[in-house]
């Protein structure tokens, strides 16, 4: 039976790759692969996953699921002008924002306070029921985080992939919030809908597909067995993560390790629970609420999950005043692959947002 389970492990990896631009199939820290290239790794000593927040807390979602939240104050201890909320994508967690949470608190123009949280069923947050594993619920979760952690003052929302979809869901649910308090929105490697039409094959998103349906059934009946099969072939999966997630084949092995670790921590059950909601996501009309904000649309032109054309271009067409940035050669997790570019563009977005609020004229 071993070859069958090896095939299952590999197939579950491909399923995750199709959805997230990486391989969900193996929870693997591929130390021996990284060791082969460590001499060329610019981030060999980067403290991925070890940045300490100023405060850590738990916010209860409206259905009781605990959401793990971290807060980072301006590096110089001054008063922040803006609260910036970072919303990660599917099968990842808040660690994907490593470079931005490291660098954005050092801004002085404007000074910002960061709020970073793990979405339900991801990272350190609590597990969701299948019924509430929806983008609609993610929008409500984001609202709960804002009500608890950003009760007053201007806000900037930054979302990657499914995190961007959660921001769109919140805009659909509470458009007045975007008019009154949200000054800036960044939509990174995300889509307003029709995810399966380009890049991500629609059949993978349907529960009618026998592979995800079979994995869902197995994860219900034999969760330990399914997760054990994901441990097979760590070298293969590390390479899948590198090749399917990133555009740059010389990407830092430590960054690939981080990506593989986040994906490996996402169970097959969580993967299958979110399939249908990704398939049904369609929020072009919700984008109208963002027209009162400064908006950045940023995506890599080597993104296999939400390709720049059409997804970023559709967002920009719906938001004609948005700044559209094409990250040359970058894949889906562009904030890890080209962190300098992403942080630079986010900094410019935040400066524009504060300038818009005060009536100042700022360069970008």
**pLDDT tens digits, 338-358:** 999 999 999 999 999 998 654
Q: How many angstroms separate the CA atoms of 291 and 309, rounded?
A: 21
The CATH number that applies at residue 187 is 3.40.50.1820
Structural domain boundaries enclosing 326? 2-358
Residue 298 lies in a domain: yes
Q: Which two tokens stand for residue 300?
A: 């890599």
Residue 69 lies in a domain: yes
- Over residues 248-288, the pLDDT tens digits come to 989 999 999 999 889 888 887 888 889 889 888 999 999 99
Residue 118 lies in a domain: yes
Residue 363 lies in a domain: no
Residue 86 lies in a domain: yes
Structural element, H or E, at residue 172: helix 162-173
CA dihedral 346, 349, 353, 355 (to 10 degrees): 120
Q: How far is CA 200 from CA 67, 208, 278, 305, 331, in A?
A: 28, 16, 10, 5, 13
pTM: 0.84
Residue 140 lies in a domain: yes
Residue 326 lies in a domain: yes
Number of domains in the chain: 1
Q: How many angstroms separate the CA atoms of 9 and 15, rounded?
A: 10
Q: Is 214 helix (H, G, I), strand (E, B) or coil?
A: helix
- Over residues 59-112, the pLDDT tens digits come to 999 999 999 999 999 999 889 999 999 999 999 999 999 999 999 999 999 999
Residue 364 lies in a domain: no
Which residues lie closer than 8 Å to 16 by C-beta, 6 or more apart? 22, 23, 24, 25, 91, 263, 266, 271
Nearest Cα to 296, choosing from 191, 189, 188, 195? 188
Q: How many angstroms separate the CA atoms of 146 and 258, rounded?
A: 27
């Amino acid at each position: 039976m071993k070859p069958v389970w090896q095939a299952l492990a590999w197939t579950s990896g491909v399923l995750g790759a199709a959805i997230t631009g990486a391989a969900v199939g193996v929870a693997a820290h591929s130390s021996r692969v990284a060791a082969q290239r460590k001499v060329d790794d610019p981030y060999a000593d980067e403290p991925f996953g070890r940045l300490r927040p100023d405060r850590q807390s738990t916010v209860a979602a409206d259905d009781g699921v605990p959401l793990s939240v971290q807060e980072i104050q301006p590096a110089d201890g001054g008063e922040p002008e803006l609260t910036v909320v970072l919303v990660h994508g599917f099968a990842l967690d808040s660690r994907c924002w490593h470079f931005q949470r490291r660098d954005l608190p050092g801004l002085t123009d404007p000074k910002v306070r960061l709020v970073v949280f793990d979405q339900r069923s991801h990272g350190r947050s609590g597990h969701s029921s299948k019924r509430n594993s929806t983008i609609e619920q993610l929008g409500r979760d984001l609202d709960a985080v804002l009500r608890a952690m950003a009760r007053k003052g201007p806000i900037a929302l930054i979302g990657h992939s499914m995190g961007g979809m959660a921001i769109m869901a919140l805009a659909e649910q509470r458009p007045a919030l975007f008019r009154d308090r949200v000054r800036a929105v960044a939509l990174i490697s995300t889509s307003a809908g029709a995810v399966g039409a380009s890049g991500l094959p629609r059949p993978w998103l349907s529960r009618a597909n026998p592979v995800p349906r079979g994995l869902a059934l197995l994860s219900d009946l034999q969760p330990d067995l399914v997760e054990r099969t994901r441990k097979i072939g760590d070298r293969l999966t590390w390479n899948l993560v590198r090749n399917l997630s990133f555009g740059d084949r010389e990407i830092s092995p430590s960054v690939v390790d981080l990506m593989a670790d986040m994906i490996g921590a996402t169970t097959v059950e969580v993967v299958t629970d979110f399939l249908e909601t990704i398939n049904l996501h369609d929020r072009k009309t919700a984008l109208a609420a963002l027209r009162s904000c400064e908006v950045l649309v940023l995506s890599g032109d080597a993104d296999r999950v939400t390709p720049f054309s059409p997804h970023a271009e559709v967002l920009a067409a719906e938001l004609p005043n948005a700044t559209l940035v094409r990250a040359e050669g970058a894949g889906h997790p562009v904030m890890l692959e080209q962190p300098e570019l992403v942080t630079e563009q986010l900094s410019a977005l935040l400066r524009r947002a504060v300038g818009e609020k005060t009536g100042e004229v700022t360069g970008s």
